[in-house]
Structure 1
Amino acid sequence: MNLNYNRIIELLEGQPEQYVSGEALSRELNISRTAVWKQMKKLESQGYRIEASRRLGYRLMGKPSKLTLPELLVKLEGTTLVRSIKLLDSVDSTQNIAQQMAEEGAPEGTLVIADQQTNGRGRLGRSWVSPAGKGVWMSLVLRPGIPLQFAPQLTLLTAVALCRALKSVVPLEIGIKWPNDLLIGGKKISGILLESTAEDERLRYVIAGVGVSVNLEPEDYPKELLDVATSLLIAGGEHIDRGAVVAAFIRQLEHLYAVYQREGFGPIRTLWEALSVTLHKPTKLYAPTEVFEGTPIGLDERGALLVEKADGSVVPVFSAEMRFPEANSGG
C-alpha cells in the first residue's frame, strides 16, 4: 500500500464518523479530486468500507478484518487434521500455493489461506471473485491414499462438510447443488474445487480448495453475477467472523473424513442426499459427450449422480454441467 493510501486512512480515521471533503484530501495529498476518487476505489477493493457523498466528501465506515494465526489456532484448538497453516495476504490462487507445497512433500493437513486471491478459480475453469478481507479463500492438502476412481467421493464429502459448517454458523437455508456448489435461495454462496495427482492408480495427494463469499457486498460482484451469486452478509444482513467459518469447516471436515476412512462412502452419501437441492427436480445435463434431460434421484456407491431419463432408464453421471429450468438456479 503506497503513502497516499496510508495518509488517506490516517485522515479518515482522524475524524471518525465524520466526512472529510474531497477538496481537503486533494489539498493534503497534492493530487486531483479524480485521483482521490480513484484512491478510494482502490481502498474499497482492499476491504475498506467508505461512504461517499458528493456534497460532504468521504467517511470511513469500516476496515478490513484480518485473519491472524493466533486467532485461528485458538478457534482450531482440539482439532488434529490441520498440522500447519500458511496465512498469506494476496496470492493468485491458494490452489497453486498448496499444490506446489504438496509437490515439495507438505504433509496432509497443510492449510493455505489467503486474504485475497487475484486469480481464484472454480470448476470448469471459471474465475472466482475473491476480494480482500471479505471471504474465506483456502486450500487444504489431503493424502487419503485411496484408488483414483474414488476421488469424486471426496468432492461430495467436502461439500457436505462445508454445508454443515455454514449452517452451524448462520441461520440460513443452505443446500448443495450437485456436485458441490452451495446455494442460498438459488444463488451460489461458495465454490469447491478438488484437484488431485495420482500414481499407480492411487491418489498421491488431493488439494481441496474452498471459497466462501462471507462478507461480500453487492458492489463487490460484477453486475452479471448478482442474479446468480450471493454472500452470507447479503443473505443474512450481518457481518460474519471469517475465522469462525474456517474453524467450523475444518471441524466438520475432520469428523467426516474420519467417518469416511472408517466406514466408507455410505454415511457421506446419506448426508449429501439429505442436504441436496438437486434431487427429484427435472434438469438438463451437459456432459462431455452428450446433452440430455432427466431427473436426479440419488448417488450410487461410487459417488456418481443417478439420473432417471424419460424412458425410465437410470444412468450414472460423474461429470456434467447441470441447468434447471429456473432462471436463478445458480452456476
Structure 2
Amino acid sequence: MKHSSRNQLIEYLSTMDQEYISGPELSKILNISRTAVWKHINELKKDGYQFETVHKKGYKLIQTPSHLSESSLQWDLHTKWLGKNLIYKEELGSTQTLAHQLAQDDAPHGTVVITNNQTSGRGRLNRKWESNHSDGIWMSIILRPKLAPYNASQMTLFTAVTLVDTLNTLTNLNVQIKWPNDLFINGKKCCGILTEMQAELDGIQYMVIGIGMNVNQDAHSFSEELLHQATSIRMETGEQWDRKQLITAILDNFEKAYKTYMDNGFSQIKQKWTKNAYKLNEKVHITMSNQSFDATIKGITEDGALLVFSDEEELVRVYSAEINW
C-alpha cells in the first residue's frame, strides 16, 4: 500500500462524520483495489482505530486512537504541506540525526520526524536534552526556505514566537522566550529549539528545526538539580495534556505563520519576540570571547542578535555568549 493512499484514506474517513462507506466506494475514490482497502483498514485497526463493519454498508469509523502514531497524527493535521510527509518512530536516538539523513536524501520541504522516546537528545552546543521518555514532544522539521544563510538565525526566533503563540492560546500560560532558543514559564525552561542547516554562500540547501518540549512530566520526572531549572506544561497547569493535540496545533500554526513570515518579512516576528522576551529591560551578566560585562536586555536585531545596553552606556550586539540570567 502506498504511503499516499494511506494518507488519502485517513483524510477521507475524517470527513465522513461516522457515516458508513463501502469498500467498493473507497476503492474507486482512492483508485486502489478492494483488497488494498481491506488491508489498509486492518493496519489502521492495529494503530488503535475502531471500525463498525456492516454487510452491504461498509465501514464506519467509531473511535480514533489517543496514542501517538503516524496515522493518528495525520488524522488531526489540517496543513497543506507541513507534515504531509511525516515519519513517526516509537524510539529514536535523535530526531535531528534522522532528519538530517532524510534531508540529504532529498526529503521534501515540510517533512516532520517525531518520536515517542529519544535516547540521545541534544540541544545547543551539543548539550544533552533529557528526552528518553514519552512525556514530551520530540520532533524535527525539515525546511528548504528561500533565505540567505545570514538570515538563518531568524528561523529560531520565528519558531520560538510560533510556539509561544500556540501555547498561550491552548494553555493560557505566560510563556516567555529566552534568547536565543529556549521557552521559559515562571523562570524555568519548558522547551528548547535547535536549528541546524546545510548551506552554501548563495543559499540554504535545507534547514532542520528541532523542538523538545516538556509536556506531561511531574516533579518526580526531574533530578533535584533539573527541578530548579526545568518545568513542564503539566506542572504549570496541573493538567495532563494530549500530546497529539499539541503537536497538530503547533504544526498547523507553524505553517500559517511561515507563510506570513515569508510574505511579510521579519518585522512582525521581531515585535512578537520583544513582547514575550524573558527578562526584557532587566540586567544580566554577559561573557563573550574577549570581554565580560553587565548589561540590560533591550531586544533583538534583524539578524537575530541580542541587543543589550551595557553599563558603559553602549548598545552592544551579542551573537554568541554565555549569559548569567
State TM-score, norm by structure 1: 0.75
Instruction: Show the counterpart of 1:323.
Output: 324
1:296 CA displacement: 1.3
Change over 3 Å in CA distance of 1:145–1:171 after alignment to 2? same
Instruction: Show the counterpart of 1:278.
Output: 279
The question of 1:230 aligning with 2:231 is answered: yes
Map Cα deviations across residues 23-60 of structure 1 (whole Å, 9 max, x no partner).
xxxxxxxxxxxxxxxxxxxxxxxxxxxxxxxxxxxxxx
Contact 2:117 2:133 in 1 (8 A): yes
Paired residues, what number?
260
1:81 CA displacement: 2.4
Q: After the TM superposition, which of the residue ranges 76-85 and 229-238 deviates more from structure 2?
A: 76-85
The question of 1:159 aligning with 2:171 is answered: no
Q: In structure 2, the residue corresponding to 1:249 is in which secondary structure?
A: helix
Contact 2:67 2:244 in 1 (8 A): no
Instruction: Show the counterpart of 1:102.
Output: 103
Contact 2:182 2:191 in 1 (8 A): yes
For residues 163 and 321 of structure 2, what CA distance do their matches in structure 1 show?
Answer: 21
Instruction: Show the counterpart of 1:73.
Output: 74
Unaligned runs of 5+ in 2: 1-65
The question of 1:195 aligning with 2:196 is answered: yes
Instruction: Show the counterpart of 2:184.
Output: 183
Q: In structure 2, the residue corresponding to 1:230 is in which secondary structure?
A: coil
1:200 CA displacement: 2.7
Equivalent position amino acid for 1:219 in 2: H
- 1:77-156 to structure 2, matched below 5 A, reads 77-156=78-157
1:86 CA displacement: 0.2
Give the RMSD, CA atoms, in angstroms: 1.4
Contact 1:83 1:108 in 2 (8 A): no
**What fraction of aligned residue pairs are identical, expressed as a percent?**
38
Contact 1:82 1:109 in 2 (8 A): yes
For residues 265 and 72 of structure 1, what CA distance do their matches in structure 2 show?
Answer: 30
For residues 78 and 128 of structure 1, what CA distance do their matches in structure 2 show?
Answer: 28
Contact 2:215 2:232 in 1 (8 A): yes
Instruction: Show the counterpart of 1:168.
Output: 169
Q: In structure 2, the residue corresponding to 1:298 is in which secondary structure?
A: strand
4+ residue stretches of structure 1 with deviation over 4 A?
Answer: none
Q: In structure 1, the residue corresponding to 2:152 is in which secondary structure?
A: helix
Contact 1:143 1:205 in 2 (8 A): yes
For residues 226 and 100 of structure 2, what CA distance do their matches in structure 1 show?
Answer: 29
Equivalent position amino acid for 1:215 in 2: N
Q: In structure 2, the residue corresponding to 1:211 is in which secondary structure?
A: strand
Map Cα deviations across residues 187-221 of structure 1 (whole Å, 9 max, x no partner).
00011000111113421111000011000122222
